[in-house]
Amino acid sequence: MPELPEVEIVKQSLKKKIQHKKIKKVIVSNRNLRFKLHKNFEKILENRFVKKVLRKSKYLILGLDNSKYCIIHLGMSGTIHLMDKTKNKNTNLSFYQSPILPKKHNHIEIFFSNFKIIYNDPRRFGYFFIIKNKLELEKFFLKIGPEVLSKKLNFKYLKKKLINRKKNIKNLLLDQNFISGIGNIYSNEILFYCKIHPNKIGFKITNKEIKKLLYFSKFVIKKAIKYGGSSIRDFKNIKGSIGSFQLEFNVYDRENKKCLIKGCNGKIIKKFISNRSSFFCNICQK
């Protein structure tokens, strides 16, 4: 599942390419994504300039010059590909999956003057939403929790939200109404840096731990963006699903390996917590 850093990289690449450009044509091959595509989707986008390319949490937002917005969520397996007229081999704007455009499941094509972007999604959990104006856009995002990198995610907010919570912290970090933008991979990394056991109950998190959670949530996500950003510039570093950025992980996918903290003799345990694979050090994380 694409996580926030991946969506941010897609946004940066899209922005460079399509901001201030005119959409010439839209071809839809399959309207049945997670939610059915708006019946006038093509008409709303065609002949409009893309004024802005934004990202909020894991949503991409295209601001059009008719004051409408197109929200894109990549779901579980959505990818956006860029195809120049020169047809370069590497088209994927993401860095998790294969850099090459698959033959199947290309649902939406958006044409600009000398290139097109293609939305590919084998599992079709992703979706495109049309939002009619800025007010509606704000309303849409009121429903989800503050984004991990936003100033709204602060000590006061977390303290208030953790009082009386009986869910474990791992579960809470993944709850998009609690904080938006943290997925499974990075929740493991954040809890490792904080030295908090993923099963620790929300209301038992101390003030000191809240401060660590705030600091390391932002730290881990920013680091991932920086790392992803550097690998996207050179496609040679990307080898299908095993991007080189994964070497940076401390706990994720490191089952039975030695803890990387100097002087710790612990090893990384993998355990399913609330149905998600959790990786943590059996000594550091309490």
- Give contact residues for Zn ion (rule: CB under 5 A): 259, 261, 264, 266, 281, 283-284
Residues constituting the chain: 286
CB of 269 to Zn ion, least distance (A): 10
CB of 262 to Zn ion, least distance (A): 10
DSSP per residue, 31-78 = -BSSSBPPTTHHHHHTT-BEEEEEEETTEEEEEETTS-EEEEE-TTT-
CA-CA-CA-CA dihedral for 179, 181, 182, 186, to nearest 10: -150
Distance CA 13, CA 36 (A): 26
CB of 199 to Zn ion, least distance (A): 16
Q: Under a CB-based contact definition with an 8 Å cutoff, are residues 125 and 107 in contact?
A: no
Q: Which is nearer to Zn ion, 84 or 248 (CB)?
A: 248
Of residues 56, 58, 116, 170, which has the active-site annotation? Answer: 58
CA-CA-CA-CA dihedral for 29, 6, 183, 158, to nearest 10: -120
Q: Which is nearer to Zn ion, 80 or 259 (CB)?
A: 259
Q: Which is nearer to Zn ion, 95 or 193 (CB)?
A: 193
Of residues 2, 99, 146, 198, which has the active-site annotation? Answer: 2
189 is an active site residue? no
CB of 63 to Zn ion, least distance (A): 45
Angle at 68 between CA 63 and CA 71, to 5 degrees: 60
For the chain, state the CA radius of gyration: 20
CB of 212 to Zn ion, least distance (A): 15
**Number of alpha carbons in the 13 Å side-chain half-sphere of residue 202:** 18
DSSP per residue, 235-280 = GGG--TT--GGGGG-SSTT-TTPBP-STT---BEEEEEETTEEEEE
Q: Which is nearer to Zn ion, 222 or 267 (CB)?
A: 267
132 is an active site residue? no
218 is an active site residue? no
The tokens 């495109």 sit on which residue?
128
Q: Which is nearer to Zn ion, 20 or 257 (CB)?
A: 257
Q: Which is nearer to Zn ion, 136 or 248 (CB)?
A: 248
Q: Under a CB-based contact definition with an 8 Å cutoff, are residues 180 and 146 in contact?
A: yes
CB of 266 to Zn ion, least distance (A): 4
198 is an active site residue? no
What residues act catalytically? 2-3, 58, 276
